[in-house]
A = this chain, B = another copy of it.
């Protein structure tokens, strides 16, 4: 049986090593910027998006070094989004991965700039020759990651999430919100492996379909952890959705039906991997992991 927790731990070590070298400390007078970038980006995390990039890339025999660079770039985008989302003007969070958030540890201006620097560095890494010999692949990666992270993806979802407090969202609208806010970057993580491996369209679409279900399953599990988990387990403040009066899958469906839904989605995600046989075992194991994790 595939040992998903051990594989995630090894993945996190690999990704941290690459992130550390792609985001070197600075000794210029503005060194505080890279300190903040490194503080927030190298502070742990499950590294699920990098795991998706690498596991998808493995399906197509992509070299590990190339996949790791893309994995790190996408994690930079994820990291920037957490820094900006935690800001006082946004979700106003003081705890992330068990540590003070970036603007608490440094200050707001530094946190805003650290996020901005991470975005630029992510696209720089994706487009550099070291990421793939074929510039078409690099340009394609930039386009897809930009779409997934921009106004019609992650940033659009965050805007919608901020506005949603005023509305009573229904399940279909929450689904759309989450598809934008977290789903798009999860989808492009899977797709990136296919792009790197110049996979057939059918394989690229199968991975997108897997990622789509996985992303929703992941989000419902996150909502459940917010209700049922503690700050010690999750490393972040819990019971936030409830106190913000936010409509979530759990607030609408109730915890039991929400949990059933997340398991159904995980199994549906696994079904999309049918074209890949045994090689996709890490992706299958991940789908089960995201709906049973306690952190």
Give the interface of A toward B (CB within 8 A). Answer: 26, 28-30, 32-34, 37, 80, 84, 87, 89-90, 107-110, 112-113, 115-117, 119-121, 123-124, 126-129, 134-136, 138-140, 142-143, 146-147, 149-151, 153, 155-160, 162-163, 167, 173, 180
- What residue in chain B is nearest A157 (Cβ atoms)? B30
- What residue in chain B is nearest A137 (Cβ atoms)? B135
Bound: A151/B129 CA distance, A:
20
Nearest chain B CB to A129 CB, angstrom units: 8
5 nearest interchain CB pairs?
A120-B150, A89-B108, A124-B146, A117-B151, A127-B142
B156–A142 CB distance below 8 A? no
- Which of A109, A138, A180: most chain B CB closer than 10 A? A109
Bound: A29/B119 CA distance, A:
25
Known A-B contacts A29-B173, A84-B112, A135-B138; A150 and B162 likewise in contact (beta carbons under 8 Å): no
B163–A143 CB distance below 8 A? no
Of the A-B pairs whose beta carbons lie under 8 Å apart in the complex, a sample of 14, sorted by A's number, is: A28-B160, A30-B156, A30-B157, A33-B156, A113-B155, A113-B158, A116-B150, A120-B150, A127-B140, A128-B143, A129-B139, A138-B139, A139-B139, A142-B142
Known A-B contacts A28-B156, A127-B142, A163-B32; A117 and B150 likewise in contact (beta carbons under 8 Å): yes
Bound: A254/B110 CA distance, A:
31
Contact of A89 among B29, B107, B117, B155 (CB under 8 A): B107
A155–B116 CB distance below 8 A? yes
Nearest chain B CB to A23 CB, angstrom units: 9
Bound: A290/B117 CA distance, A:
28
- What residue in chain B is nearest A146 (Cβ atoms)? B124
Copy count, this protein chain: 2
Known A-B contacts A112-B84, A113-B159; A123 and B138 likewise in contact (beta carbons under 8 Å): no
B163–A149 CB distance below 8 A? no
Nearest chain B CB to A207 CB, angstrom units: 21
Q: Which residues of B contact A147 (CB under 8 A)?
A: 120, 124
Bound: A162/B121 CA distance, A:
21
A87–B110 CB distance below 8 A? no
B32–A151 CB distance below 8 A? no
Known A-B contacts A89-B109, A112-B87, A151-B34; A146 and B123 likewise in contact (beta carbons under 8 Å): yes
